[in-house]
Chains A and B, each alone.
Chain A
């Protein structure tokens, strides 16, 4: 008989008993809402999770309509993704961006874009989770709140910080690691002062785990990044309790049902102990980490897309049992595109059916005390900690980024996953088992294959916009930003000034690179608007 194991390679016994789970209840589990938060960060509320779906396509106006549609369906938070250029700090009129403007997310590059994007969205009520570049999202949200007479202090939501891994397996900023880290730290520090309810530091393990990582690898790399950023913030003289309550984690959820639940329970416990015992956090909120989840796009298939609905539902049940704060389902058309209107409907309704019809939220951490689940949680936790120690023992993690260690690592996991799927080691119904001929595979196919055309008009419009701006204040603000980068000052104030002067995200990012003695345009097409400033 084939030995059963999790995707991380943890062997599973067919049956578990009292001897498999041991330990002192209050030390290892605690009640929900109590240290070490294995069973949940809050005492039972029965509220369930924030329900949202990945959104953003075309231009800001079209995305705004999408948000409003999702809100009419009962969505309780926004989850926004930029198109590939936006996610990579590139304006739509960059020569490399042309064919993909607005096709896999929304195209954003100016403050006015954010005004349109969030038109009519109640900023004081709606949690806004943005995958877009954090510094620019925070700058525009902050300015927008002020323009609308809303205190930035009431804004809720999150932005992703990913200085370690974004260059190698998600969206490259083409920036030196130290600069990217500085941006992250400046954003977190700014948010902890000006937007105290907002998570300026969302550790996003989803993006890099889609490079074929297993649950243990995903969590371990996430903690390596969290720990490094925390140390960098402490080195600035910040108090751990001034920013740690606003750290949150966004994880992946594969189809490995039990292991994913164990991963989330283990991550809460690791985070709590790390914050309290290692970093000296005293505020319980600094020790309790909210975990939101984006279900795995990699687990889905383009073959028989309807099967993906089932995958999303199963993952949602796992996450409901694990007690996550918010979630979005990768929808049935994920293999081809960002969600269609139909996929949004199915994704949200899946969440709502599970939330409202199954009694899933009646009991918190229902797996708590299960011989099997506690044993698996312990094992996942031990393996995550081992891997964190192993990586940190190799030297300064920042050096590992620069030396290409993580790039190598990701290429290894990508190759491994690719082989596992082709060898049938990872089974995917409809793709490598129970396939059907293409002519029969028609259910939901037409919707899934419908394309989003690139916005050539927007390319022209943004290009024309550049000359329409009042050049003097614009160039002055960019020059000032250039100067600020060379000091220890937080860059956010200068970024706000540039944003108000009409600078684009691409320009601001270019100035940051230039001030760091690296090319303004890493792809070599564009010149800096301030010339070769000193």
Chain B
């Protein structure tokens, strides 16, 4: 079985990269292939990279409210491109209320700073498995 491919990146002008780098390492340690796109992404660059790299899951790390605007745009762009790749959001800046809003819009999962590592890993595995069978 080929390893799960996860795209990890940060959107817009948000330059807090610690969470993204930490998650990328954590997923790599689990044997997943991580396509790390760093900072300064837009929904367009994320979708493009996800297509080129056959990503099973897209992980967006956020420490800026920009994600509130970019995430719906990203979801819409994925739909326009017929790309059925689940989007996972992470970041301490995401409040419980906003997490709910993002889930309603179609984000597959949201994690805060205190989320357990095992939860995050299991979720990515399950989403990747779901995406593969759909």
Contacts and interface: CB of A to CB of B under 8 A. Distances in A.
A binds B: yes
Interface of A: 84-85, 88, 90, 96-100, 103-104, 169-172, 210-212, 298, 301-303, 335-336, 411, 414-415, 417-419, 422, 431-432, 435, 438, 449, 451-452, 454, 523
A303 B13 contact: no
Given A415-B22, A418-B25, A99 B12 contact: yes
A451 B95 CA distance: 11
A431 B15 contact: no
B64 A103 contact: yes
Nearest to B29: A419
B113 A100 contact: no
Interface in B3-57: 12-15, 17-19, 21-26, 39-40, 42
B17 A414 contact: yes
Contact of B21 (A97, A336, A411, A449): A411
5 contacts: A84-B12, A104-B64, A211-B17, A419-B26, A523-B40
A311 to B, nearest CB: 15
A343 to B, nearest CB: 15
Contact of A99 (B17, B26, B66): B66
B95 A418 contact: no
Contacts of B21: 411, 414-415, 418
A202 B15 CA distance: 21
B105 to A, nearest CB: 16
Contacts of B12: 84, 96, 99-100
Contacts of A303: 113-114
Contact of B15 (A88, A301, A411): A88
Nearest to A169: B17
A211 B39 CA distance: 14
B25 A415 contact: yes
Contacts of A169: 15, 17
Nearest to A334: B92
B98 to A, nearest CB: 9
Nearest to B67: A99
Interface in B54-77: 64-66, 68-70
A452 B112 CA distance: 20
A170 B15 contact: yes
B32 to A, nearest CB: 15
B84 interface: no
Closest 7 A/B residue pairs (Cβ): A418-B22, A84-B13, A414-B21, A415-B25, A414-B18, A99-B69, A302-B92
A99 B40 contact: no
A460 B12 CA distance: 19
A325 B26 CA distance: 40
A172 B15 contact: yes
B97 to A, nearest CB: 8
A411 B40 CA distance: 17
Contacts of B24: 415
A169 to B, nearest CB: 7
B93 A84 contact: no
B23 A418 contact: yes
Contacts of B15: 84, 88, 169-172
Contacts of A84: 12-15, 64
B13 A435 contact: no
Contacts of A298: 18
B116 to A, nearest CB: 8
A419 B120 CA distance: 14
A417 B21 CA distance: 10
A96 B14 CA distance: 10
Nearest to B22: A418
B13 A100 contact: yes
Given A336-B95, A422-B117, 4 more contacts: A169-B15, A169-B17, A419-B26, A454-B69
Nearest to B95: A449
Nearest to A172: B15
Contacts of B117: 422
Contact of A335 (B25, B26, B40, B93): B93
Nearest to B42: A96
Interface in B71-104: 92-93, 95-97
A250 B113 CA distance: 27
Contacts of A422: 22, 26, 117
A435 to B, nearest CB: 7
Nearest to A523: B40
Contacts of B112: 302
Given A103-B65, A303-B113, A418-B23, A212 B13 contact: no
Contacts of A449: 95, 97
B55 to A, nearest CB: 20
A109 to B, nearest CB: 14
Contacts of B66: 99-100
A210 B63 CA distance: 13
Given A97-B13, A418-B23, A438 B96 contact: yes
Contact of B64 (A100, A170, A411, A414): A100
Contacts of B22: 414-415, 417-419, 422
Given A84-B13, A414-B21, A302 B113 contact: yes
Nearest to B96: A438
B25 A419 contact: yes
A335 B13 CA distance: 17
B18 A417 contact: yes
Nearest to B23: A418
Contacts of A452: 65
